[in-house]
């Protein structure tokens, strides 16, 4: 209660509950009422049409329209009809995510149809929906305050603070270590914390995972070496104060599926839509079976060691902050491209996916292209011809598309002819010539083997996600479908 903005929220909430709040307090509490949220169309763009889900959406929209008609003094306007059409009438609730270590989803009290008596799985989504971020969680894992679960009731009644903290570890000696934390601070309600006398003075609780940097850490985040208690002085910044009923605890595995963290991310929960939940569950199960182990495009966490591999001290996080800003802009563009791609008819999307394969998963490996060019230019430091021939031969087995396999075989034959005199030019496959007319024209005009190699290198795409660059697996590659990996590339 010593933090003014927190005290203001707690007093306003208590006053409004007891019907004695003034206008300012009522406005403060009303501003935190979560209400309901509709389902954005981008959340469903990753899933194919399903007749049962469509029938369910029609029923939901009809119920919404019936409810609007009963409370409206005039005819339903076009904007309401549009919003129902694009959202399917689905309604959910926003919750601020905190981690759940026991693999259960703890929800606050949500006064919406479908949540009072859960009769099926729920959907938990996290924007942006640049990938399948709307996923089901089994009903057996869901816990609500109505089930008289202590943890659910705790989350339903506690205040919370989204915070960042910068300070010093006063127990670290003369040169006090600096530290920085951010995340969610929980204010435990009376009677919900341990009766241990050592805990009676506890006012705030947070996770040790909130500690992001400590000046004595040099190579990694050594949270396992932290002491049980740390006396610290510093500056606490309150980013947001959450009233009771705003928090939800999400299993850690489910957080990772949606690329979520718990220092301020919101999730959206939807219940009462069994056909949609079942459809999404079946689609994801099928995709996971086809995809196998997925490789993520996401770079490592933004924190870097204080001392780099060359022994130089890295001050600040300017590099990571700039990368995050550029990445955010790139993600927005990629999400828009993915939405446009997935909105196309099946036949057109398949043709687009086939074209996008070249230069993404198929093409000349960059190191092979550069090595051949250096060799043809007479660079004395160029890779040995035998090494380049081996690389060209290995590329044949790595090709995915039939045209890509033909191109790899052609380049291998040309590599084997380099350095020989009076050889017969390999025939350019007709399918390859039809797919790449510029390559066919340059290949026909070439007078010797070196010219034909240049024709291939200059007019056939370079593989951006080559197997040589990603030896553990090309990111996003789905062996069973071209649409899956190319949609992933647009995320």
Highest mean pLDDT among 218-227, 250-259, 307-316, 480-489: 250-259
Domain check: are 132 and 258 in the same one?
yes
From residue 169, alpha-carbon distances to 61, 216, 229, 231, 303 in Å are 56, 10, 10, 6, 20
Please say whether the beta carbons of 203 and 10 come within 8 A.
no
pLDDT band at 122 (very low <50, low <70, confident <90, very high): very high
Domain check: are 164 and 231 in the same one?
yes
Is 307's pLDDT higher than 50?
yes
Domain check: are 184 and 223 in the same one?
yes
Closest by Cα among 384, 421, 406, 420 to 456: 406
Which of 142-146, 326-330, 358-362 is predicted with the least confidence, judged by mean pLDDT? 326-330
Q: What phi, psi does 303 have (nearest 5°)?
A: -70, 140
Residue 176 in tokens: 């006090």
Q: Average pLDDT in the 430-451 region? A: 93
Please say whether the beta carbons of 155 and 248 come within 8 A.
yes
Q: Is 57 inside a domain boundary?
A: yes
Number of domains, the chain: 3
Written as one string, the DSSP assignment of 40-78 is PGGGGTTS---HHHHHHHHHHHHHHHHHHHHH-SSPPPH
173 against 462, higher pLDDT: 462
Is 491's pLDDT higher than 50?
no
Domain check: are 226 and 265 in the same one?
no
Domain check: are 42 and 173 in the same one?
no
User: Which one-letter DSSP state was computed for residue 298?
Assistant: P
Domain check: are 206 and 258 in the same one?
no
Is 462's pLDDT higher than 70?
yes
Please say whether the beta carbons of 401 and 436 come within 8 A.
no
Q: Is 238 inside a domain boundary?
A: yes
Closest by Cα among 191, 335, 370 to 259: 335
Is 372's pLDDT higher than 90?
yes
Domain check: are 189 and 283 in the same one?
no
Predicted TM-score of the model (pTM): 0.77
Q: Average pLDDT in the 216-230 region? A: 81
Pairing of strands 266-270, 91-100: antiparallel
Domain check: are 267 and 118 in the same one?
yes
pLDDT band at 68 (very low <50, low <70, confident <90, very high): low
Domain check: are 257 and 233 in the same one?
no
Q: Is 39 inside a domain boundary?
A: yes
Q: Is 113 inside a domain boundary?
A: yes
pLDDT for the residue numbered 9: 92
Is 465's pLDDT higher than 90?
no
| CA gap 178, 214 in Å, rounded | 6
CATH of the domain at 259: 2.40.40.20
157 against 469, higher pLDDT: 157
Domain check: are 119 and 262 in the same one?
yes
CA dihedral 330, 335, 340, 345 (to 10 degrees): 130
Closest by Cα among 214, 233, 96, 237 to 164: 237
pLDDT for the residue numbered 270: 96
% pLDDT > 70, the chain? 88
* Domain-ending residue, one of 234, 257, 290: 290
Q: Is 219 inside a domain boundary?
A: yes
| CA gap 269, 93 in Å, rounded | 5
Is 484's pLDDT higher than 70?
no
- In this structure, how many other beta carbons lie within 10 angstroms of the beta carbon of residue 93? 23
pLDDT for the residue numbered 488: 53
pLDDT for the residue numbered 486: 58
Write the CB contacts of 299 (distance below 8 Å, at least 6 apart in sequence): 323, 327
The domain of 278 spans 34-156+246-290
Please say whether the beta carbons of 187 and 203 come within 8 A.
yes
Q: Is 405 inside a domain boundary?
A: yes
Domain check: are 228 and 271 in the same one?
no
């Amino acid at each position: 209660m010593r933090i003014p903005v927190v005290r203001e929220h707690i007093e306003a909430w208590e006053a409004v509950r007891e019907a004695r709040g003034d206008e300012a307090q009522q406005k403060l509490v009303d501003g935190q009422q979560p209400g309901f949220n509709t389902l954005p169309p981008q959340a469903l763009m990753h899933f194919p049409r399903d007749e049962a889900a469509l029938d369910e959406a029609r029923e939901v929209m009809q119920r919404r329209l019936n409810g609007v008609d009963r409370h409206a003094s005039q005819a339903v306007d076009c904007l309401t009809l549009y919003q129902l059409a694009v959202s399917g009438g689905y309604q959910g609730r926003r919750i601020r995510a905190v981690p759940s270590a026991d693999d259960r989803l703890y929800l606050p009290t949500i006064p919406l149809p479908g949540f009072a008596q859960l009769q099926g799985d729920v959907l938990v989504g996290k924007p942006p929906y640049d990938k399948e971020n709307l996923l089901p969680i089994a009903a057996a894992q869901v816990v609500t305050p109505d089930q008289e679960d202590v943890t659910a009731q705790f989350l339903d009644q506690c205040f919370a603070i989204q915070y960042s903290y910068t300070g010093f570890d006063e127990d670290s000696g003369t040169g006090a270590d600096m530290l920085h934390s951010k995340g969610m601070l929980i204010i435990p309600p009376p009677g919900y914390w341990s009766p241990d006398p050592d805990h009676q003075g506890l006012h705030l609780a947070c996770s040790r995972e909130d500690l992001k940097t400590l000046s004595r850490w040099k190579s990694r985040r050594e949270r396992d070496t932290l002491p049980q208690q740390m006396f610290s002085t510093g500056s606490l910044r309150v980013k947001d104060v959450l009233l009771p009923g705003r928090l939800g605890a999400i299993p850690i595995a489910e957080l990772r599926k949606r690329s979520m963290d718990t220092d301020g991310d919101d999730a959206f929960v939807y219940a009462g839509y069994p056909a949609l939940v079942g459809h999404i569950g079946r689609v994801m199960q099928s995709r996971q079976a086809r995809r196998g182990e997925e490789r993520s495009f996401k770079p490592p966490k933004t924190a870097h060691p204080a001392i780099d591999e060359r022994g130089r001290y890295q001050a600040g996080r300017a590099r990571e902050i700039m990368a995050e800003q550029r990445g955010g802009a790139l993600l927005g563009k990629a999400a828009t491209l993915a939405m446009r791609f997935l909105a196309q008819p099946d036949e057109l999307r398949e043709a687009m996916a086939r074209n996008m394969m070249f230069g993404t998963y198929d093409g000349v490996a960059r190191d092979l292209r550069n090595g051949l060019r250096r060799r043809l230019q007479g660079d004395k430091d160029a890779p040995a011809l035998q090494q380049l021939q081996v690389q060209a031969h290995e590329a044949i087995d790595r090709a995915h598309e039939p045209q890509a396999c033909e191109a790899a075989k052609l380049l291998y034959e040309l590599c084997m002819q380099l350095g020989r005199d009076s050889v017969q030019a390999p025939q350019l496959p007709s399918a390859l010539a039809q797919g790449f007319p510029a390559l066919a024209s340059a290949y026909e005009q070439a007078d010797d083997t070196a010219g034909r190699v240049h024709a291939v290198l200059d007019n056939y795409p370079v593989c951006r996600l080559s197997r040589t660059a990603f030896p553990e697996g090309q990111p996003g590659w789905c062996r069973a479908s071209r649409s899956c990996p190319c949609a992933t590339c647009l995320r």
